[in-house]
Amino acid sequence: MKKIFLIILLCLSLPSFIKAESTKDSYYVRVALELMRSNEEKAALQNLFKELENNPTNGFAHLLIASICCDMDSYGYGLEHALSALKYLPKSEHVAREAMYNLLSRLYLQAKDTTLALQYRELARKELPKKERNYFWLVDLNMDKCDTIEATRYAQMYLKLLPDSIDAHLTMANIQSAYKRYDEAIDYCSKALRMAKPNSKDMSRVLLRRALLFERAKRPSEALTGLMQATRISIWNQTETLLYRLADTIPDEVLDTLLAAKRAEPDQIYWDVLLFDFYQERNEYEKAVLTGYELLPKYNNNSLVYELASILELNIGDLDLAEKLLLKQLDTDSTSAMTYINLQELYSERNCRYAESLEMAEKALSFSPTDHQKTIIYQLRGRMQEQRHEYQAAINDFIISMIAYPDDCEIWFSIGKLYGLLNDKEKQQAAFEQGRKAYALRGYELSAGNYVALGDTAAAYEAAKTMVKKENSPTQHYNKACIYAQIGHYTEALQELRIAIEYGFRCFNHIEWDSDLDNLRGMPEYITLINEYKQINEQQKQELRSKLNLE
C-alpha cells in the first residue's frame, strides 16, 4: 500500500486545523507534513511522535502516523494509530475522517477481512456522501465479494448522485456485464460515450470498454469497429490484447480492416504498430519483420527495435541481421542498457562469442539498468557459464539476479540443479526448499521445469501437457519439447519440436547447444528434422533479406 492518497487529502484538510490550534504543539505537524512531501518519512515520524508526547490526543498526528506506517508496510502500528485518530479527530473534520475510514478499509482488506473493509468504506461514504470514488470502491469491494445485489445498489446510488458522470455509467455497465446482460451494459457505455468530449482519453476508454462488451456479447465485428475508433484517439495496452483475441476469432476481417485503415491514413503510425502486432500473434514473422522495417524510420520508441531483433533472432533465426539492427540502434543511443542486454543475449546464442557476450553484460551494467534488467543480465551470464560448466560462477550470478529481482522464484530451481552438478546435496535441497517456499508465498504452481529439477518425472509430464493451453506459441511448444526430452518421452519431444519449428521457432543455434535436448541428439529423426528445416529456413532468410532495405 505505497504512497497513500491520504497525504494529499491532509494537505487540504490540515490548514483549518492548524489555524484553529495555533499553539506550539502544531509546529511538529507542520514540519512532518513538509518532510512527508519530500518523502522523508522517518524524520516525519520523529516529529509526529514528539507532537504526541506533548499532545497525545492530537487526532491529526495519529492520522499522519497511520498513513506513514501503512506506506512502510507496518500495518499493525498503522491500525493502532488509525483507531486513535478516529477517537480524537473532531466530528466536524469530515475530510480527515473520510480519509481515515478509507485507510482503515484498506488495512482490513490487507488482512483479508472484507466485511470490516466494507463497513469502513460505507462510513467513509457517509462522511462525504457526494464523493464519487467512495461509490466506485463500494461497488468494487462488493463485486470482489460476489455480492452483486449490494454492488448494484451502490452503483444505482452512484448514478443517481451523479447522473452526468461517465464513470457512474461505466460502473453500471460493469454490473450489467457481471449479470451477462450485455445489451444493457452496452447501452450504459453508449450513454457515457455521449458525455465524453470528442477525441478525449475518456472517449477512447469508453469506446474500448464498449468494444470489450461487444466481444463478450459475441459481436466481434462491432468489437473491431470500437477498437479501431478507440485506437484513433489513443493506443492503450488493452487495445493490443483485444486485437489478439479478435485475430483468433475473425482474422481475415481484422487484417482487412487494418490494411484499409493504413491505406486511408498512411501517416498514422498506430495502424503499422497494430499490423506488426497482428502478424506476430499469427506467427507470420516475415510479414512482421517487413512491417517493422517500414515503421522504424518514423518510430521514436526503442522497444520496436528490440522486438524486431527478437523476431529476427528467435523466430527467423537470422542472428546476423538481428545484430546489425541492434548495432545500428547503438549508433543512435550508445547509453541504452536494454540494447546491450539484447546484444548480450544474441552473443550468448553463439558460444564462440562468449567474450563479446561478457563485454555486453559489463556495458549494460555500466548504464544504470533497472532491477529487472539486472536480473536479465546476470541470468544470461549465468546460463552461459552453466553451458561452459563453470557451475559455481553460474550460481553466483543467479544469486545476484535473485537479489536484484526477488520475485523470480524459478531461479532457485536452477541454483539447486547446479548444486546437484557440484554434488552438494545439502545446498541443492536447501535451494529447492527456498524455491518451494517462494512459489507458495506468491500462490504460484510449480512448473514442469521445476518438477524436472526435482526429479519428479510423472508430475513434469502432467504439467507439460498443459503448457500450450495457456499460450499456444512456438516458444511454449519448444519448452514442452525440452521437458519431454529430459524425462524420456522422446517421440513426443520430437513432435513438439517439429510443431515449434513449423510455428516459427527458427533459432537453430539455440537448439543445437541447448542441453535440455541432449537426449535427442543422436536420434536419426532429430538429425533429419533439423537439417530439413535448416534448409527451408536458410532459403526464407535469403528471400526476406532481398525484400529489406538494409541501409
**Which CATH number characterizes residue 63's domain?**
1.25.40.10
- How far apart CA 315 and CA 308 sit, in angstroms, is 10
| Among candidate residues 82, 110, 129, the one where a domain is terminated | 129
Q: 390 exposed, middle or buried (CB, 10 Å; 0-12, 13-18, 19+)?
A: middle
* Side chain identity at residue 457, one-letter code: T
SS3 content of the chain, % helix, strand, coil (to 5): 80, 0, 20
Q: Is residue 501 part of a domain?
A: yes
DSSP, res 422: T
Here the cell at position 155 is: 452503483
Q: Is residue 195 part of a domain?
A: no
Q: Is residue 44 part of a domain?
A: yes
DSSP, res 317: -
Angle formed at CA 73 by CA 101 and CA 96, multiple of 5 degrees? 25
Q: Is residue 312 part of a domain?
A: no
Provide the domain limits for residue 497. 463-547
- How far apart CA 267 and CA 355 sit, in angstroms, is 43
**For 440, how many CA atoms within 13 A lie in the half-sphere containing its CB?**
6
Strand, coil or helix: 138: helix
* Side chain identity at residue 536, one-letter code: I
Total structural domains within the chain:
2
Give the closest residue to 407 by CA, choosing from 431, 372, 365: 372
| Among candidate residues 80, 111, 129, the one where a domain is terminated | 129
Give the closest residue to 343 by CA, choosing from 314, 315, 364, 369: 364
Q: Is residue 18 part of a domain?
A: yes
| Among candidate residues 97, 129, 161, the one where a domain is terminated | 129
Q: Is residue 268 part of a domain?
A: no
Contact assessment for residue 374 and residue 405, using Cβ atoms and an 8 Å cutoff: yes
- How far apart CA 63 and CA 100 sit, in angstroms, is 7
Q: Is residue 305 part of a domain?
A: no
pLDDT tens for the chain, 551 residues long, are 444 444 434 443 444 343 334 233 478 888 888 888 888 888 888 888 888 888 888 888 888 888 888 777 787 888 888 888 888 888 888 888 888 888 888 888 777 788 888 888 899 889 888 887 888 888 888 887 778 888 898 889 989 888 988 999 999 998 999 889 999 999 999 999 999 999 888 999 899 999 999 999 999 999 999 999 888 877 656 677 888 889 889 999 999 999 999 999 988 888 888 899 899 888 888 899 999 888 888 776 667 888 898 888 878 888 888 998 899 888 888 999 999 999 999 998 876 788 999 999 999 999 999 988 999 999 999 998 998 899 999 999 999 998 888 878 889 999 999 999 999 999 999 999 999 998 887 778 899 999 999 999 999 999 998 887 767 788 899 999 999 999 999 999 999 999 999 888 888 888 888 889 999 998 999 999 999 998 888 888 888 888 887 65
Q: Is residue 145 part of a domain?
A: no
- Site of grid cell 543422436: 522
Contact assessment for residue 22 and residue 10, using Cβ atoms and an 8 Å cutoff: no
